[in-house]
Structure 1
Amino acid sequence: MKKKNLIVFDIDDTLTKSENQHQTAFVEAMVSLGISDINKDWKSYKNMTDSYILKKNYERNFNKEFDCSFMSKFEEKMTEHLLSLPKTSEINGAGEVVNYFMRKTDYAICFATGSLLEPALIKLQQANINFIPNVVETASKFYTREEIVTSAMNKAKKYFGVENFDNIISVGDGIWDLRTAKNLGIHFLGIRNKNLSDFKAEGIKSHIEDWNSFDFNKVQTELGII
């Protein structure tokens, strides 16, 4: 089926139950590489991405400008820690819904996450989520969510051979996901209830508890697509 629209999936706690494993591996990797004074108030950061948070804590601890060559060493160490933790499982119904979009709709898919690349791929693999590596974008190259989502959308255009998508829906569980979608002028579907009060405070139009409660016609109606 020709793809005319696009859905952009966040990964952690949108498709995979991985927030705890991710944060544990992230902090352990920093500590093991000499970053011990860590600001764990994640919502206090201007950009909610692994690369930006790592940069700020690196500069906080070593009192010097972030050395980009440190990123690959950190990613390797974080991957080691992640693999030592219990495996990631899917958010209820996530694997089925990804297959649904690919096989039964005119929506292309891509993945945009604030995680670094290797940990992101491991979480998708452990949760048995079908994904296309060519349309995954992460914080390994970018500091901001806007850059990550924009790059993921561009990758999807190239992969699916689409000059412009008619409609783009971003899906995420965090308030930063909603704000990114607003900044980029695309639709947003919120998932899970942990940030529901924040979502409502910012006027979210469509929200689901998990993928088992997903009704795509209802979502599109709420977003004004149909």
Structure 2
Amino acid sequence: MTKKNLIVLDIDDTLTKSEEKHTDSLLFAMKHFGITEVNTDWRTYKNASDSYIFSANYEKTHGKEFSFDLIPEFEKVMTERFLTFPDTPEILGAQKIINFFIEETNYGVCFATGSILKPALLKLQQAGVNMIPEVLESSNQLFTREDIVTSAMNKAKKYYGVDNFEQIISFGDALWDVTTAKNLGIHFVGVNKKNIEDFNKMNVKHHINDWSEFNLTETEKKLGIK
């Protein structure tokens, strides 16, 4: 089905309530590689992605260059740890809103996450979110949020059979989601209320606490799309 517009979706705490167990699993996997002293203020990192955080701490701990060849084992350990937690719930209304976008609007969807791939897939599956694997990009082979989002958008162009989308709206819960959208020149809507101060400082035009509050017509109006 061809779509003329696109929705770009972060996952952790945007579609799924998963940030705490994601962080635990990330730290557990780093410990498996002998990394025990980790700065967990993710804002201090050049890139807020699992692969980059792993690489920075790997190089700091072991004094040698990181290789993406380490990712498969890292992903395996992280996924096994993630599976020890209870199933991931959705952010209220996430299941319905994805189906709404896909079935009732001229917006396609894609998923762009700083997470390693397999835990990201698990979150969506456990939360019952209608996920399209062909349009999901993770940090397995990419460090920067801009590269991850750009890759997801390119996958969406191929999936929906278009050269370009007329309007692109990114949804995310954190400062780096806002920054990435601004750097790429696409619209942004904040989700979740934990980072509302950051959203205000970044002059985010529209914010929702959860998906039960979302109204497409209102969102387009606030973003100046219609």
* TM-score where L is the length of structure 1: 0.98
- Residue 218 of structure 2 corresponds to 218
Quote the offset at 1:67 in angstroms: 2.3
**Aligned-partner SS, 2:139:** coil
Measured in 2, the distance between the counterparts of 1:146 and 1:195 equals 20
Alpha-carbon distance, 1:2 to partner? 3.8
Whichever residue aligns with residue 52 of structure 2, its letter is Y
Whether 1:95 aligns to 2:99 is no
Aligned pair count? Answer: 226
User: Any idea what the Cα deviations from partners look like across 1:57-92, whole Å, max 9, x if unmatched?
Assistant: 001110111122111110110000000112111000
Q: Deviations over 1:5-36 (max 9, x none)?
A: 00001000000000011001110111122111
Stretches of structure 2 that go unaligned for 5 or more consecutive residues are: none
Aligned to 1:137: 137
Amino acid of the structure 2 residue aligned with 1:126:
Q
Q: Which amino acid aligns with 2:66?
A: F
1:50, distance to aligned residue in structure 2 (A): 0.3
2:36 match: secondary structure: coil
Percent identity, aligned pairs only? 54
Taking the TM superposition and a 5 Å limit, the aligned residue runs for 1:1-226 are 2-226=2-226
Q: Is the 8 A contact 2:82 2:119 kept in 1?
A: yes
User: What's the CA shift string for 1:116-172, capped at 9, x where partnerless?
Assistant: 111100111000100110000000110000000000000000000011100000000
State the Cα distance separating 1:41 from its structure 2 match.
1.4
How far the C-alpha of 1:98 sits from its partner, in A, is 0.2
d(CA) in 2 for partners of 1:90, 1:104: 21
The 10-residue stretch of structure 1 (154-163 or 28-37) with the greater mean CA deviation from structure 2: 28-37
Per the normalisation by structure 2, the TM-score is 0.98
* 1:21–1:86 CA contact under 8 A, matched in 2: no
Which range moves more in the overlay, 164-173 or 34-43?
A: 34-43
Q: Does the residue aligned with 1:181 lie in a helix, a strand or coil?
A: helix
Would you say the 8 A contact 2:2–2:161 is kept in 1? Answer: no
| Equivalent position SS for 1:171 | strand
| Structure 1 gap ranges (5+) | none
